[in-house]
A and B are shown apart, each in its own frame.
Chain A
Amino acid sequence: MSSSLVDIVGRKKEVVDRAVIRFCGDSGDGMQITGSQFTNTAALFGNDLATFPDFPAEIRAPAGTLPGVSGFQVHFSSNDVYTPGDSVDVLVAMNPAALKMNLADLKPNGILIVNLDNFEENDLRKAQVKVSPLEDHSLDAYRLFSVELTKLTRSALKDLGLDAKSMDRCKNFFALGMCYWLYNRSMEPTLRYLNDKFKNKPDLVQANTLAMKAGYSYCEATEAFQISYEIPPAKLEPGTYRNISGNAALALGFVAASQQAGVKLFLGSYPITPASDILHELSQYKDFGVTTFQAEDEIAAVTSAIGAAYAGALGITTTSGPGMALKTEALGLAVAVELPLVVCDIQRGGPSTGLPTKTEQADLLQALFGRNSEAPIPVLAPATAGDCFWIALEASRIAIKYMVPVIILSDGYLANGAEPWKIPDIEDLPKFPVTYETNPVGFQPYKRNPDTLARSWAIPGTPGLEHRIGGIEKQDVTGNINYEPLNHEHMVRTRAEKVAGIAQDIPEIIPEGDASGDLLIVAWGSTNGPITAAMNAQREKGRKIGHVHLRHLNPFPRNLGDVLKRYKKVLVPEMNMGQLVMILRAKFLVDAQSYGKIQGKPFKQSEIEDKIEELLG
């Protein structure tokens, strides 16, 4: 869908409905900041969008080499956006290594902007390229723009008296300026950002401003680009929007939860990629009374949060797979002593250290079962970056109401990816005020609420409620140490029943798309985008498809079994070897089929569509 206009110098301005840009270069080239700036500008303009930052685990691999390549992809549109895009319309490659690693994703006839100054013999050698791709016609299928980004940036900044290294650090903003021209974007939001970010470093503001404007003017003046594009604002639901990443949304969700519950928020955390940003965010919110404790290790992170919960706070801990493994024993303790706790596992590729900066969904079985003995824990998963906010509230609500630890499974893609988020009104947030036990008359530490089976929250400091809890098996009601066989069975079944009962307290699932038909796609977590996009495309072709995206993975929504029966086939795409599908097959005796992708990358829309076509013929 496009229409054309002609500008005053006779160049074409084409109106299109969507575009995908990827900035890629060396880890030190500032590609993440370039991409974030373009994203922010697109969001403020009113486009719907999704992003995919993709960076190496090494902070600075040797410059110019293949392992050092960092990329940031943004998909923006005047229509709905569900994914960062399968392939890109514009590729900005700062060096041969970046070009080599990313070219395969550029659409035929796509725009390719390269930094000509970085294609010297030495650069090619570092990228393990023998012949310059700029000379061997391997790029003939694309609209290639070889631009002397380094030289042009230096000449734009020559009067500032900066050294060469400082000038070269601004070349990403030259490229950003070019892309702003290409998509007819205002530079204002980025200028505001520069002035705010470098308040105390006016020379940096000036240098980056000049570089960006030079890039913009370069396109305007050279007539190298004979066409530019315009993407009108999207028709999103009315409201106030901001950009948000999954990790930022989790942090805000927990602040909101502590306010809605009327309790102090305590985060115990140990730095780990890709979860650390939640710790960074929450450490800023001291004005909300938030306590953040950077613990000595993953175990102290979770156990300090358990201590905080015991003392009456909303205790949370944030981690990723390897840290989750270390927290296992403590989670069993939280199950046994029945205290509220929320654990965020921002999943990454594994096993062991695995792929620290890449996404995966392979911790589901660990979350569900990865503890000694019978230790059921409710498990939730956000579907989008913005949904992380709501999941944090929901997890906190369940933890407090049922006196139980709750696990949130997010992942690296949701954590770092950004999307426009409609800011909710405070009045619309769920309220779940806490009432601590204060009455000593008839108090028993394990006396349960008959509806929820939750014990009461009796915090130290309350006169008359002195009691002992611990990880040893205890008698129900009194909490006294008890090793009797039948008591143990009663306690195991009671803890399980309490968690299972949460199904009565969560909404029934309503499939997206067709309410019955040929295929039901069941999924969870960050796969929501590509599945929604693929289902919409396939339904337009007349196929009868439904999509259930589970936010509650334990317990499941109570009608899930019925919904599964309404379709001829069930497909379960997951970024793992088939974990949810195993549970669905075991629990519902349904012939659900697994579609696993374990590449550290999200599904593409086309991959899901291909699978649908394979299944439905």
Chain B
Amino acid sequence: MNVESLPDQEKQMTTAELPIYTKKDFQTDQEIRWCPGCGDYAILSAVQMVFADLKVPKEKFVFISGIGCSSRFPYYMNVFGFHTIHGRAPAVATGVKLVRPDLDVWVATGDGDSLSIGGNHTIHMLRRNVGLKVLMFNNKIYGLTKGQYSPTSEVGKKAKSTPFGSVDRPFNPLSLAIGSEATFVARSVDVFQAHLRETLKKAAAHKGSAYVEILQNCNIFNDGAWDTITERDARSEHVVQLEHGKPLIFGKNRDKGIRLVGLDLEVVTLGNGLTEKDLLVHDEHNENPVYAFAISRMDTMPGFPTPVGVFRAIENVPQYEDLVNQQIADVQKKKGKGDLAKLLRAGDTWELRA
């Protein structure tokens, strides 16, 4: 590629006929080194299936990661992959996306990688709205370093480095993302395969940063961290599925709902004069972040279910890489393509003759 050739290259790729992919096309020959029973396997499988369906030429996918169990992800995806350093994947990916906006760039990260060492890059990527799809595997523990508490671990977490229990208050990852001006925020769960695939497809379609928290089980160091959500019997009582335009209803008998009282959310039981009409209706396109923020707090409140699905999807915010490249194109249109000889001679010059 030289400076001029990029548009041609793009044209070539869009006009070429797209092969029909299957999950298998996205599998690598590398030996997978996650622990048997790890939730990452389910996520890998979902991503491979979704990629096969996205109608994107395979060579356009790039998977970038930091450090941690989740960050081994690129090695197992048969696309362009870059396993970088701890916490920095969003910054590396921003560089890739600025240079090649035509690429479909994904980031695999975890609660430690994204929210602890890489917290700064995460929030700045989100506020800029760089067109990156971030999959944040949240298992509420440091796995690869063998079991220390993480920034999403609950208070009192007894782990290797906190034998008497952790005293730090955790982050709510989605509240943080919404507070960072994120335009797409979603949550799914490793074992909710169909839901996970749907969520990933929505993230893929979003223009701008998509931050997807995937609740993932570390069966070695934090087994059962999400049991209240994932166990079949408990699931319907503890999970509320967010569907755009639909009221927030949950429960085995679909008899419970969430309503708004003043600025507070309240769990109510339907009946006795309370109907679906009294409930909060999910609006993922609500530009006011207060709504998404409020529902992102639900799982931290006793008696409330954990919402899964798309919390927020705002489509009218320009992508960072488009703005940056548009500015370059505008200047080139106005001033013409730069002339190096002229640039070197800019400003005051003088001639010396022999």
Chain A residues with a Cβ under 8 A of chain B: 40, 43-44, 46, 189, 233, 236-243, 252, 255-256, 258-259, 262-264, 266, 268, 285-291, 293, 295-297, 299-300, 303-313, 315, 329-330, 332-333, 337, 423-426, 433-434, 436, 459-472, 480-481
Contact = CB atoms under 8 A, between A and B. Distances in A.
B30 A481 contact: yes
Nearest to B5: A262
A332 B88 CA distance: 13
B343 A288 contact: yes
22 contacts: A46-B352, A239-B351, A285-B338, A287-B331, A287-B335, A288-B337, A291-B328, A293-B98, A295-B124, A296-B120, A304-B95, A307-B82, A307-B92, A311-B96, A311-B99, A423-B345, A433-B2, A434-B2, A460-B96, A469-B81, A471-B84, A472-B83
Contacts of B88: 299-300, 303, 330
B68 to A, nearest CB: 13
Interface string B278-315: 00000000000000000000000000000000000000
B272 to A, nearest CB: 52
B348 interface: yes
Contact of A300 (B121, B327, B335): B121
B57 interface: yes
Interface in B8-54: 9, 13, 28, 30
B96 A242 contact: no
B74 interface: yes
B85 A330 contact: yes
Contacts of A330: 85, 88
B98 A463 contact: no
Interface stretch (B59-67, B203-211, B258-266): B59-67
Closest 9 CB pairs of A and B: A307-B95, A470-B83, A288-B338, A304-B95, A468-B81, A300-B91, A307-B92, A460-B80, A286-B331
Nearest to A243: B348
B348 A44 contact: yes
Contacts of A433: 2
Interface string B84-102: 1100100111111111101
B85 A43 contact: no
Contacts of A286: 327-328, 331-332
A303 B85 contact: yes
Nearest to B87: A299
Nearest to A284: B331
A255 B340 CA distance: 8
Contact of B3 (A263, A295, A471): A263
Contact of A464 (B59, B327, B336, B344): B59
Contacts of B2: 262-263, 433-434
B353 interface: yes
A461 B59 CA distance: 5
Contacts of A299: 88, 91, 121
Contacts of A256: 340, 344
B82 A469 contact: yes
Contacts of A303: 84-85, 88, 91-92, 95
A242 B91 contact: no
Contacts of B163: none
Contact of A293 (B64, B95, B345): B95
B114 interface: no
Which of A239, A287, A290, A312 is packed against the most chain B CB atoms within 10 Å?
A287
A44 B345 CA distance: 14
Interface residues of B, number: 63
B28 to A, nearest CB: 7
Contacts of B120: 296-297, 300
Nearest to A300: B91
Contacts of A295: 91, 124
Interface string B194-220: 000000000000000000000000000
B271 interface: no
Contacts of A40: 348
A223 B235 CA distance: 97
B94 A46 contact: no
A303 B84 CA distance: 9
A241 B352 contact: yes
A304 B91 contact: yes
A465 B81 CA distance: 11
A470 B74 contact: yes
A291 B341 contact: no
A306 B95 contact: yes
A238 B354 CA distance: 5
B64 A242 contact: no
Contacts of B74: 468, 470
B83 A252 contact: no
Given A297-B120, A463-B59, A468-B81, A266 B91 contact: no
A305 B95 contact: yes
Contacts of A236: 352
Contacts of A308: 95-96, 98-99
Given A289-B338, A459-B100, A464-B59, 20 more contacts: A40-B348, A189-B348, A240-B349, A256-B344, A286-B331, A288-B337, A291-B99, A291-B324, A293-B94, A304-B95, A307-B99, A309-B95, A329-B85, A461-B13, A461-B59, A466-B80, A468-B30, A468-B74, A468-B80, A470-B75
A289 B328 contact: yes
Given A306-B92, A481-B75, A466 B59 contact: yes
A238 B92 CA distance: 46
B347 interface: yes
A470 B347 CA distance: 45
Contacts of A262: 2-3
B176 interface: no
Contacts of A243: 347-348
Contact of B84 (A43, A252, A291, A470): A470
A309 B96 CA distance: 8
Interface in B96-139: 96-100, 102-103, 120-121, 124
A243 B351 CA distance: 12
Contacts of B64: 307
Contacts of B121: 296, 299-300
Contacts of A472: 83
Contact of B95 (A310, A436, A463, A470): A310
Interface string B318-335: 000000110110011001
B81 to A, nearest CB: 4
Interface in B156-214: none
Nearest to A429: B340
A465 B92 contact: no
Given A289-B338, A310-B95, A333 B85 contact: yes
A252 B121 CA distance: 30
A415 B179 CA distance: 40
A461 B352 contact: no
